[in-house]
Amino acid sequence: MINLNFKHLIIMLAMILPACTFGQTVYEGQVINAETEEGLMYATVTLLKTKHATSSNYQGYFRLIADYTMTNDTIVVSHVGFKTFRLPVTGYQPNIFIKLEPTSSQLAEVTVGATKVKKAVIEKFNHSDVKDLRGRAFYPTYPYNIVGSFAKEFEAPVAGTLLSVIHLGRRAAYDIPFSLMDFPRTSSNKLTRFLLHVMTHDSLSGAPVKRLFTKVVTLNDNALRITFDLTKERIVLPDKKFFIAIEWLLTPINEIVQLDIGEKVAGVKKDNSTSFEEGSRYRIIYQPILVILPQWNGSSWQPRLSKVPIWNSKDGLKWTQVVNAYDVALSATLTY
Amino acid sequence: MKTFITCLLTVITLSVNAQQNMNTFYVVDSLTRKPLPSVTIAIVRAALSITTEKDGLFSIPGDLSTMRDTVVIYTQNYNSVKMPLANLQGIDTIKLEKMDMIAGSKLVFKNDTLLNDYNRFDVGNFAGLHMGNGEFKYLQIAQRFEAPKAVTVLKDVTIERLAFYLNKSKPGVINGQTEYSELEHTRFKLRVYDVNPVTGGPGKDLCDKVIEIKSRDDKKLATNLKRYNIVIPNKTFFIAIEWMRDYTNQGYVHINDKRGGVKGHTNYRPAIGLIPIKGEKLNIWVLNLNQQWGLYTYHSPDFTDLAVKATVGY
């Protein structure tokens, strides 16, 4: 038997401590099914050495807060029916997407019924389009300082389709502490609430007209790709063309604070002259921050222009088409 | 900063008219005649207030005899003075009388309870910046606590504030990247109140000493209060942040309005975090410029509690 004394313990501690980082660390991201690209609920996310663990929510989103971290630790993501995924903490990137491959033992889907149901995804976008772009010079967001409503036009293959799923790219706001040039310094707020509308298309003006469906959406996480399953709502689209609109709400829950540097009055001297000094200027902006899809032009990332009409409205009634509008990460899945 | 006279005009407008009369006043202790630092002067209807520097000096420009407003002058542990603004005409010294405080006897407590706990990574909304399109016009904000029993001692308080990294000493770009290495500075007073049995809001001061908190390097402000021996007589009590409306804390807030315009106004640090979990009851109270406490409803109903936690011993 090994006889350990105090000296040995000190040496052991000295060997262990450099691998330990004290202070809380946050690991967050989305676990998705590599085959279907949908979020995976109830995936278990564990730090192998420190045994901190959590599970993913309905969007596949997880947030693991560790009181301390071992620099040689590993993030392990597992789910029944999927291959386990391992990632060294040194390879973690903020708001990471983790794709889990289904195991071969998974049962194939069974089609019930005589009629074959067709599925079409309009304006599809991928996880790579909305993933965290920190570190890149290009950081697309929409609408940032605009308040009101935004609508994107969609065209179904046929009239009378059922709108079953909407996907939306959302940019999370962060507080950036160090050394990131040209990056907004914003408060971090994972809460947001907004209205999601499905609207009809006016064949004469091309503008959004009537609301077919409205849903109040409240998000409580930093998931970048949001899935709205509308199957139960039975939203039948009367025409081929329709709109999906987002309406911003000017409520305190949506507030994000962005820092700017301004000039402030430092004081008034005895001779009544005013002096100035550098001061903080906060700008209040409202969530959600939507993602503009990027494109690589050979030398840098640039915002992609939308191929379909984009409309804006300040009051939700009078709509204006945006000239040279950017392409927003918003897609519709239709069944017919 | 010491060369400047604290002047209400600087927060009212930048258009100082050199020809206007400048009425200067000292706020002093009525017995010692020594200047009182950090006294708040609030002009009620004009909704203006400012905190004096160490010299207890403040100025109001213009002809006082024509002003129809009320001034409230107060600081912790002193009886506040409230009078028509015109009554300041002809005087240059304002004497504040010290309150009689009963010091709590030293009690020994064996058990601790942490009240109003939260995870700081969940805090993303802040009170103290603005009220919709308007300025945040409150002097103090308080969180209501419910101790497990009556007669406890307040051991520590932790507050989550909004703060961004700046580097005022090294402006510009270094090695191709802007360096941000310093948090926005702030200082404020921490107040502890008993419950007012009539209103259910903050009542009597429970600490006879001034607790001033300064921070320049952390968003989480943890303060050990054991040395103050603050005894909480009832189960319900309040911990408040009293803003010091001075130059250190002064900043600006810009808000987009519904018509696409931008409104700007002054604000004072620190903005205090809100817990993103809706409780059964609204527990946040604010003190207005007229020295009246009321419930803070701007962030209601989504937010009911401040990100302020406290440990009590019993």
Q: What is the mean pLDDT of each run of 10 residues along chain B (314 residues)?
A: 43 44 86 87 85 84 85 85 86 84 62 93 93 87 95 95 70 47 85 94 93 88 94 95 90 75 86 93 96 95 96 93
Q: Which of B10, B164, B180 to mutate to test the interface with A (most CBs of A within 10 A)?
A: B164
For B121, which of A24, A178, A278 is closest by C-beta distance?
Answer: A24
Contacts of A278 in chain B (CB under 8 A): 168, 171
Taking only the tens place, the pLDDT of each residue in B89-107 is 888 888 888 876 655 556 6
CB contact under 8 A, B177 and A282: no
Closest-approach residue (CA) in chain B for A281:
B252
Which pTM was predicted?
Answer: 0.81
Q: How far apart are CA A277 and CA A112, in angstroms?
A: 72
Reported as a pLDDT band with limits 50, 70 and 90, residue A49 is confident
CB contact under 8 A, B124 and A191: yes
Give the model's pLDDT for residue B103.
54
CB contact under 8 A, B250 and A279: yes
Please name which of B53, B82, B66, B79 lies closest in space to residue B23, comparing C-alpha atoms. Answer: B66
Whether residue A256 has pLDDT greater than 80: yes
Structure ipTM over 0.90, yes or no: no
Residue A236, chain B, CB below 8 Å: the answer is no
Taking only the tens place, the pLDDT of each residue in A116-147 is 789 999 999 988 888 765 544 344 455 545 56
Binding-face residues of A in 161-200 toward B, CB within 8 A: 173, 175, 177-181, 185, 187-191
Whether residue A108 has pLDDT greater than 80: no
Most confident of A20-34, A228-242, B25-39, B155-169: A228-242
Give the model's pLDDT for residue B10.
41
For B121, which of A65, A270, A272 is closest by C-beta distance?
Answer: A65
CB contact under 8 A, B258 and A191: no
Alpha helix segments (H runs only) across B8-106: 9-12
Whether residue A110 has pLDDT greater than 60: no
Closest-approach residue (CA) in chain B for A67:
B119
Give the model's pLDDT for residue B55.
83
Helix and strand counts by DSSP (H, E) for chain B: 1, 29
Give the model's pLDDT for residue A171.
79
CA angle A26, A30, A31 (to 5 degrees): 120
Taking only the tens place, the pLDDT of each residue in A153-186 is 999 999 999 999 999 998 777 654 444 444 447 7
Whether residue A107 has pLDDT greater than 60: no
| A8 exposure class (CB count in 10 Å sphere: 0-12, 13-18, 19+) | exposed
CB contact under 8 A, B124 and A147: no
Q: How far apart are CA A229 and CA B261, in angstroms?
A: 36
Chains A, B: CB contacts within 8 A come to 144
Pull the structure tokens for residue B118.
């939260």
Q: What is the CA radius of gyration of chain A?
A: 25
Phi, psi (deg, nearest 5) at residue A7: -60, -40
Please name which of B311, B305, B108 lies closest in space to residue B224, comparing C-alpha atoms. Answer: B311
State how far residue A172 is from chain B, nearest Cα, in angstroms: 12
CA angle B61, B67, B70 (to 5 degrees): 100
Residue A298, chain B, CB below 8 Å: the answer is no
Please name which of B178, B161, B75 lies closest in space to residue B124, comparing C-alpha atoms. Answer: B161
Q: Quote the mean pLDDT of chain A.
A: 81
State how far residue B105 is from chain A, nearest Cα, in angstroms: 37
Taking only the tens place, the pLDDT of each residue in A57-97 is 999 999 988 877 777 889 999 999 999 999 998 888 878 89
For B126, which of A26, A257, A274 is closest by C-beta distance?
Answer: A257
